[in-house]
A and B are shown apart, each in its own frame.
Chain A
């Protein structure tokens, strides 16, 4: 039996074919090459995300030059704290070696971020000080060496 295809359907089929070919050609040019390499995303984006420069150099970079401070620290309660916790991002300082490229915070408020009294800090885990009562006229570092808090300066 001869299968009859009406002419309007033939025209529609041609239109469909043209549309699909056009779609595939456009897609070829618009979708980045690495799209679908690992999943439904641009594979090159992984490399993009690994690109930014680091600002924090990491503890090992500090120890490369400042092992003496680390030895000092090791004797007291601040032993486990990494240098950049207080001194801020150090990569610039590592590259330049300039003292001006690293922070030396000395305010009472800065020490208070950790040691200020707060009910949410578990008693016995950290020394807490009521900043409004404890030697209000002095900076913490006038008595305490931040690297060795219990080696009092006076």
Chain B
């Protein structure tokens, strides 16, 4: 008899558990309200999906981009806060690599290694990769950083609590804590400019056209044409960040 009781109560328990889980599943499927269940909406195919191309071969290391970025976005002029910057890589004949970025390249570069010791040397402009699967977005505990419907990683300055988790998470070192606002700050691909139909400040001022941005969804856009015709690579592809900043002629020394 005792055995019977256990069986029937187990049956009852299973029944009610199935009903409850069914109800929860049904509720999340219905999505009648986003009040409890947040899920990213499917991306709008009518909106552009931005990507960036940087042609390492064209960069002359003048630092106009880094300077323009600071001017445009009121990034503190004090050193070591950059939304975009330029690095000079010098591979020496003995195989060692020297990387330098004096003041982010804003004041130009002076060659420090004599010609006869250099195997090769090149400039690499860096900026936010606007990853489709951004580590920085994934770690934000309050939902203050996000992938916009146009594929731009943005920061909600009113919502950010300045916990620095995203600064640690970015494998490209593209974030910093704004020393005055005390919130995370980063490249917005000049969201305020592209919304007005203007090019981002770094691309507006690049004298050699080493930088390009455009709609990856539009198969006739200049950027897609460039990607078709060139062998491009993203930084740290092994991390599977879905980076949308493509480098042309990138050397393997670049980290």
Residues of A within 8 A of B (CB): 1, 3, 35-42, 45-46, 48-56, 58-59, 80-82, 84-85, 88-89, 109, 112-114, 116-122, 125-126
Contact = CB atoms under 8 A, between A and B. Distances in A.
A121 B191 contact: no
Contacts of B147: 39
Contacts of B155: 49
A58 B115 CA distance: 38
Query: Interface of chain B, helix or strand or loop or mixed?
Result: loop
Contacts, number: 141
A85 B205 contact: yes
A32 to B, nearest CB: 8
A1 to B, nearest CB: 7
Given A39-B39, A56-B204, A82-B207, 20 more contacts: A38-B41, A42-B143, A42-B156, A45-B154, A46-B149, A49-B188, A49-B191, A49-B192, A56-B68, A56-B72, A56-B198, A89-B68, A112-B108, A113-B62, A114-B60, A114-B62, A116-B108, A119-B121, A120-B61, A120-B111
| Contact residues on B (Cβ < 8 Å of other chain), bracket | 35 or more
A13 to B, nearest CB: 14
A36 B38 CA distance: 6
Contact of B88 (A46, A51, A59, A120): A120
Contacts of A117: 111
B209 interface: yes
Contacts of B218: none
Contact of B111 (A41, A50, A53, A118): A118
A39 B155 CA distance: 14
Interface string B70-93: 011110000000000000111000
Contact of A54 (B61, B107, B198): B198
B204 A38 contact: no
Interface string B180-211: 00000000100111011011010011111100
Nearest to A1: B8
B149 A38 contact: yes
